[in-house]
Structure 1
Amino acid sequence: MTNREFEQLVARLEAQALRRPWLYKMRVLALALLGYGYIAFMLVGLLLTSVISVVALKALGAKLALGLLVLMWMVLKALWVKLDAPQGRRVTQKEAPELFAMINDLRKGLKAPRFHRVLITDDFNACVVQTPRLGVFGWYRNYLVIGLPLMKTLSVEQFRAVLAHEFGHLAGGHGRVSNWIYRLRLSWHRLIDSLVGEGRFGTFLFRRFFNWYVPYFTAYSFPLARANEYEADAAAARLTSPQAIAEALTAVNVVGRYLGERYWSDIHRSASDLPRPAFAPYGSLADKVSGGLQDQPMADWVEHALQRETSSDDTHPALADRLRALQQGPLLSLPGPDARADRLLGPVLSAITEELDCRWEAAVLPAWEERYQTATRGRERLRELDAMLQQGTELNPQDGYEHACLTEEYGAGEDAALPLFKALYQQTPDQPVVCYALGLRLLQRDDDEGLALVEKATELDEDAQLSGYEVLRDYCWRRGREEAAHAWHDRLLERHELLQRARAERDQITLKDTFDPHGLDQEQLAALRAQLRAMPGLRRVYLLRKRVALFPERPLFVLGYSCTRWWGLYRRKKVDAIGQRLVDEIQLPGEVFVLSTDGDNYRFGRKFWWKRGARVRL
């Protein structure tokens, strides 16, 4: 199902849901049960076929039935998908009694199930995660996952409203069916992706059906899932107050954007100037956010959050629509130090904060040190290029591009670098890298001249198409040009699918493939022989090119090798070790697929042996 087809179906279903909500829900329920019905049909069909074969075919049927029962067992095993539980720092009722008192109060008020674990993470989020113990058959373990940054930037009442919204998705009562379907959408995606993706034996019985079913069910239940978000907001308003949920929604949208665009980017940018992190990001997060939002009028942050429109990309409605449903206006009220929700963690707050800070530093330290070293080298190189310009030396296009990038990153900044990119474009207007670089920077400044430049880069260089189409789509969408955005999105999907097919064609070699001569000249072949002679243990080596349908101008070399004499003992570890060394060290003008012709792959050796010129003499 294409993106356009998905949106059209969702729009039609939303209209049906408004006209006949009861009938629409019944259809969604029937479609939800279809998934389980198909699984039951396949299992019962296998069982009945086994019984009938035994009755009708006697001894021969018993053998057939045994095979069918084995298949049935493999199918059940494949459906028994194990999903990893969410990770985080577990807190108990003994450690944080105030937090658990709030959780239990909300859970009882909404008739929600109990939680097996409450976890604190470093995300700016709170959510309920259900992991099935019986695969697609359910029996869930419930996890409440709470992000410490969220607790540090919301008041206690705002945080209570956020939890009430999340619990609303698990609530019982009149909304039980809607909530079940809401959760089922997530379950089908997680479970079926895992089921089909792992390629277990028996999944062929389900692959075609679920490739159709999951996207269709996702689209068909989309209006119900979005309505469930509004119902969860209403539940939160009943348990707390409309003002509290409005404040929470406004804060989540504004603070979330600030953290993504300013807070974390500023921290990571400081790696260019500091050899090691010199601060605790989670310990100081609340004060930094409060101060950072004051640097720009809060009304501007709120206005930007309200500009986002509800779309079919997400079941969560936009902030403006959610506030309208609550009959509330935007309310941004950041709590003071004594009113923040993190105090609900009690005495373990400092330990959890310190643990997250230490974990963050350990995770980022290698990349941090590398960035600092890169920045040091970049500043030195920028000084060299500036000195060349001061001496009157004209930079070549490559050095000019480097100078513009280094000026932007380590020098006078974006405003000073933009004229350098423009001058470079005047000098080399047909260089795709320059077109893309200048076009991207113009679009970031909402300058429409960048559209033609990025599009020109995608025409000049196929490798720029994925990122270029994405940039063009996002810019058009941000500027309200939805039709153009959809067109670029379709081209992005087409390109992505083409690359996926090409990758699949190159990721495997079969006996049915057609192989052509390698096409290397004598100099390249001599260099290859020198590399191969440096690897002890090789007995025979073959080199060919696989004939590919997609991007044939990009050669895919197949390097077949043998380490075992005809009378020798096959040793897998030795063969694998030599193969890995070939992968790491062999350099050819194209992709290389390394294939052992020993053991189970002996038929490839026979096929390669008959190809004239395939043998590389060592």
Structure 2
Amino acid sequence: MTIITEEKFVDLVKQAEYEANQNLKSYNIKLTLFALLGYAVILLLFLLLMGLAGGLIATALFSTGLFILLIKKKIIVAILLAMWILIKALWVRFTPPKGYILKREEAPKLFAELDSLRKELKSLKIHEVILNTSLNASVTQHPRLGVLGWQKNYLILGYRLLLTLSPEQMRSVVAHEFGHLSLNHSRFAGWIYRIRLTWERIMYAFENTQSWGAILMSKFFQWYSPKFRAYSFVLARKSEYEADTISAKLTSPSTAADALINLYTIASFLDEKYWKEYINFADELPHPPHEPYKGFSDFLQRYSIENDIVQKKLQEELSIQTHYFNTHPSLNDRLIALNVAPRLPIFSRINAAHSWLESSNEKLMHYFDKEWINENIRAWQDRYEYAHNAKEKIQQFSSKELISLSDEDLWKYAYWSHEFISVESAFELFLAFELRNPENIDATYFIGKYLLNNGDEGGIKYLSIARQSEYYIDEVWNLVYNFLIANNKQEEATEWWNECEHLNKINLLAKDERDSLKKIDTFIYPEINDALLNEVVENLIKNKKIKNAWLCEKEVKYFPEDQVYVIAYASKGIVFSEQKLQKMIADNLHVNGTFFIINKYQNLKPLFKKVKKIGRKII
């Protein structure tokens, strides 16, 4: 996916905000034209396709001589190829939402609620209700005819959310989602909101479709979709506030606020607490002790959450500020817009799942329990074996002096102690490891996180090192920022945010370099150690279809020490699908590092020639 950096995105949003504040009518007109541009491109391609098809048919029917001439000169091949590219450009598959398709007869009370909301709002029709296992609710549109539209509307309800919220709170959440489909309230904002989702889905579909036509279209949408998303951000944010207002009108401001506060605080806390404890059973037991969702339902009925925990969680959420990375405003801003003061939420033992699904609730719970077990039992057993072996090793390490442990064993001792003993005991071991290996990114992450979680600002020094890693930056970014905000250090928080933003930009650019090969890439003779080269060759020669192979290195600007290699191969014998062979070679390479596998077919021939000319022949 083409990268639009956070900095560029924010600049575009701020520009749009300025234009909207200066002249809202002019902004709306420009946004409308920008929205229609995407449709115009699709319509143009469709008309070109129809024109080529119509012209070809007319020539065949009314000018046989010209048609024969087109065949003889092979011009017809170019026309048919152009038509094929256009067809592939317009025909991409969109995957519909996954989950349990709920029928009206299974949950008449739930559908009665939906009918009531739709009637009051005059919203678009919901064609299917899907239950999944998320702690969320959403509406989405699935284009039946691909980029040509004819939307099918889905309401997606998370079963965990139904188990956690009361019927009144759940009605408020669903009313918010229906607000995005409403034909009564701010039609223009709703239209723009839905187009944002449509273009994002179209861009994703094109990027995951392998054809010339899709590649051509993806280039346009890679330019268009991020810019439209940024320019329409103002209206999308406004749409969220309007959906909250609709929710408050259909229930009450108090109920809408309770739903938001519960969702941000109690629901997320209880969900995290239960699943963390449930998954931790895998460290002790080879099989789950009970069905997961049945256990979650029972847990919600018996668990009493302390007020001080709720208060702390609420304050954490209220301290988070609205930002440009999400159209959803912060909890604090949403409560202000509803004109409701923050308050401790009241958790209801009567949940929407029991009330709305009635007799079907038990059947659906069993369905999701069975699905979860089937999908996770192998991972559960692997985790049990891993934990069992780690605990045995911890016992062995604890009987030795730290100085006698190798760096590798000391790291394992620290990491496994963090996993299976306590963060306190692991902290001293991470410190010992970092003393031997100053500024080790992994060690500084655990040390810094421990200090910060215990209110020690000294942890920032360590996390400043850990954020250099793309694996830690997202968590560290927010952890330190929220810590500084909570301690009234706005200036330092802003500085930290900007620094992390810059680092993240570099990481994204580095990732972009490593995501694909381009004709403009520079290739050099590979620098590779003998052990890795031997490993690569050993894996390649196992495939009897490889005749020759050349190894090259792609020159990268960011993190050049993390090398990127390209292997070009020539096949032998009968190969029915070079694409499948290419994938098989990549799947069976089994080496550490970034490697691209290419052949001389499709659009890879120029790259193949470069690698063959500059690279090292290894087979």
TM bin, normalised by shorter chain, reads: 0.7 to 0.9
1:354 equivalent among 366, 372, 396 = 366
User: Which residue of the partner structure matches residue 378 of structure 2?
Assistant: 366
TM-score by length of 2: 0.83
User: Which residue of the partner structure matches residue 138 of structure 1?
Assistant: 149
Residue 169 of structure 1 deviates from its aligned partner by 0.7
1:556 equivalent among 565, 569, 583 = 565
User: Which residue of the partner structure matches residue 461 of structure 1?
Assistant: none
Question: Is 1:159 aligned to 2:170, yes or no?
Answer: yes
Note the alpha carbon deviations across 1:240-290, whole angstroms, 9 max, x for none. Answer: 211111111111111343145422222212211122111233223245246
2:458 equivalent among 449, 467, 474 = 449
Taking structure 1 as reference, are residues 65 and 486 closer, same or farther at Cα in structure 2, changes over 3 Å only? farther
Taking structure 1 as reference, are residues 280 and 33 closer, same or farther at Cα in structure 2, changes over 3 Å only? same
CA distance in 2, matches of 1:149, 1:143: 18
SS of equivalent to 1:118:
strand
1:419 equivalent among 402, 425, 428 = 428
Residue 292 of structure 1 deviates from its aligned partner by 4.7
Residue 387 of structure 1 deviates from its aligned partner by 1.6
User: Which residue of the partner structure matches residue 186 of structure 2?
Assistant: 175
User: Which residue of the partner structure matches residue 505 of structure 2?
Assistant: 493
- The total of aligned residue pairs comes to 595
**Conserved? CA contact 2:568–2:611, under 8 Å:** no
1:7 equivalent among 10, 15, 19 = 10
User: Which residue of the partner structure matches residue 306 of structure 1?
Assistant: 318
Residue 530 of structure 1 deviates from its aligned partner by 8.4
Residue 301 of structure 1 deviates from its aligned partner by 2.5
Question: Is 1:37 aligned to 2:20, yes or no?
Answer: no
CA distance in 2, matches of 1:605, 1:217: 36
Q: Which moved more, 1:206-215 or 1:13-22?
A: 13-22
CA distance in 2, matches of 1:153, 1:556: 49
Residue 132 of structure 1 deviates from its aligned partner by 0.7
Residue 517 of structure 1 deviates from its aligned partner by 8.4
Taking structure 1 as reference, are residues 552 and 141 closer, same or farther at Cα in structure 2, changes over 3 Å only? same
User: Which residue of the partner structure matches residue 438 of structure 1?
Assistant: 447
**Conserved? CA contact 1:148–1:342, under 8 Å:** no
CA distance in 2, matches of 1:254, 1:98: 27
SS of equivalent to 2:470:
helix
Residue 496 of structure 1 deviates from its aligned partner by 2.6
Residue 524 of structure 1 deviates from its aligned partner by 9.7
Residue 227 of structure 1 deviates from its aligned partner by 0.8
RMSD: 4.2
Amino acid at match of 2:494: E
Taking structure 1 as reference, are residues 406 and 114 closer, same or farther at Cα in structure 2, changes over 3 Å only? same
User: Which residue of the partner structure matches residue 336 of structure 1?
Assistant: 349
User: Which residue of the partner structure matches residue 395 of structure 1?
Assistant: 405
CA distance in 1, matches of 2:12, 2:75: 44
Q: Which moved more, 1:191-200 or 1:126-135?
A: 191-200
Note the alpha carbon deviations across 1:43-85, whole angstroms, 9 max, x for none. Answer: 4467678999989x97678976884575356424422333122
CA distance in 2, matches of 1:352, 1:88: 11
Contiguous gaps of at least 5 residues in structure 1? 459-463, 565-569
User: Which residue of the partner structure matches residue 502 of structure 1?
Assistant: 514
Q: Which moved more, 1:263-272 or 1:46-55?
A: 46-55
Amino acid at match of 2:349: G
Note the alpha carbon deviations across 1:542-595, whole angstroms, 9 max, x for none. Answer: 5x431432248847374746544xxxxx354899789957973787x9766667
**Conserved? CA contact 1:154–1:340, under 8 Å:** yes
Residue 364 of structure 1 deviates from its aligned partner by 1.5
Amino acid at match of 1:372: Y
Taking structure 1 as reference, are residues 177 and 52 closer, same or farther at Cα in structure 2, changes over 3 Å only? same
User: Which residue of the partner structure matches residue 467 of structure 1?
Assistant: 471
CA distance in 1, matches of 2:532, 2:158: 56
User: Which residue of the partner structure matches residue 567 of structure 1?
Assistant: none
User: Which residue of the partner structure matches residue 383 of structure 1?
Assistant: 395
CA distance in 2, matches of 1:538, 1:69: 33
Question: Is 1:277 aligned to 2:309, yes or no?
Answer: no
Taking structure 1 as reference, are residues 362 and 175 closer, same or farther at Cα in structure 2, changes over 3 Å only? same
1:404 equivalent among 414, 418, 432 = 414
Residue 135 of structure 1 deviates from its aligned partner by 1.9
Note the alpha carbon deviations across 1:282-341, whole angstroms, 9 max, x for none. Answer: 22324524655614522222222222211111111111111111111235122224x645
Residue 112 of structure 1 deviates from its aligned partner by 1.3
**Conserved? CA contact 2:585–2:597, under 8 Å:** no
CA distance in 2, matches of 1:218, 1:470: 22
User: Which residue of the partner structure matches residue 288 of structure 1?
Assistant: 299
Residue 372 of structure 1 deviates from its aligned partner by 0.9
Note the alpha carbon deviations across 1:187-222, whole angstroms, 9 max, x for none. Answer: 000012212442433345544433222112111111
Any residues of structure 2 matched to 1:519-538 within 5 Å, and which? none
Any residues of structure 2 matched to 1:208-223 within 5 Å, and which? 208-223=219-234
Taking structure 1 as reference, are residues 572 and 425 closer, same or farther at Cα in structure 2, changes over 3 Å only? same
Question: Is 1:229 aligned to 2:255, yes or no?
Answer: no
Taking structure 1 as reference, are residues 145 and 573 closer, same or farther at Cα in structure 2, changes over 3 Å only? closer
SS of equivalent to 2:287:
coil
Taking structure 1 as reference, are residues 278 and 549 closer, same or farther at Cα in structure 2, changes over 3 Å only? same
Taking structure 1 as reference, are residues 279 and 202 closer, same or farther at Cα in structure 2, changes over 3 Å only? same
Residue 149 of structure 1 deviates from its aligned partner by 1.6
Contiguous gaps of at least 5 residues in structure 2? 486-492
Question: Is 1:147 aligned to 2:158, yes or no?
Answer: yes
SS of equivalent to 2:514:
helix
Taking structure 1 as reference, are residues 3 and 137 closer, same or farther at Cα in structure 2, changes over 3 Å only? same
Taking structure 1 as reference, are residues 21 and 70 closer, same or farther at Cα in structure 2, changes over 3 Å only? same
SS of equivalent to 2:469:
helix
1:250 equivalent among 258, 261, 282 = 261
Residue 347 of structure 1 deviates from its aligned partner by 1.1
Taking structure 1 as reference, are residues 126 and 585 closer, same or farther at Cα in structure 2, changes over 3 Å only? closer
Taking structure 1 as reference, are residues 410 and 610 closer, same or farther at Cα in structure 2, changes over 3 Å only? closer
Residue 444 of structure 1 deviates from its aligned partner by 4.4
Question: Is 1:483 aligned to 2:492, yes or no?
Answer: no
CA distance in 2, matches of 1:575, 1:35: 32
User: Which residue of the partner structure matches residue 268 of structure 1?
Assistant: 279
CA distance in 1, matches of 2:535, 2:112: 72
Note the alpha carbon deviations across 1:146-184, whole angstroms, 9 max, x for none. Answer: 112212222221111111111111111252222111111
TM-score by length of 1: 0.83
CA distance in 1, matches of 2:212, 2:527: 37
Note the alpha carbon deviations across 1:489-543, whole angstroms, 9 max, x for none. Answer: 22222223223313424xx9x999967589887x99999998888x59579555x
1:81 equivalent among 92, 108, 115 = 92
CA distance in 1, matches of 2:264, 2:132: 19
Question: Is 1:190 aligned to 2:170, yes or no?
Answer: no
Note the alpha carbon deviations across 1:464-487, whole angstroms, 9 max, x for none. Answer: 632244344223432341332132
Amino acid at match of 2:420: Y
**Conserved? CA contact 1:562–1:597, under 8 Å:** no
User: Which residue of the partner structure matches residue 546 of structure 1?
Assistant: 552
CA distance in 1, matches of 2:317, 2:586: 53
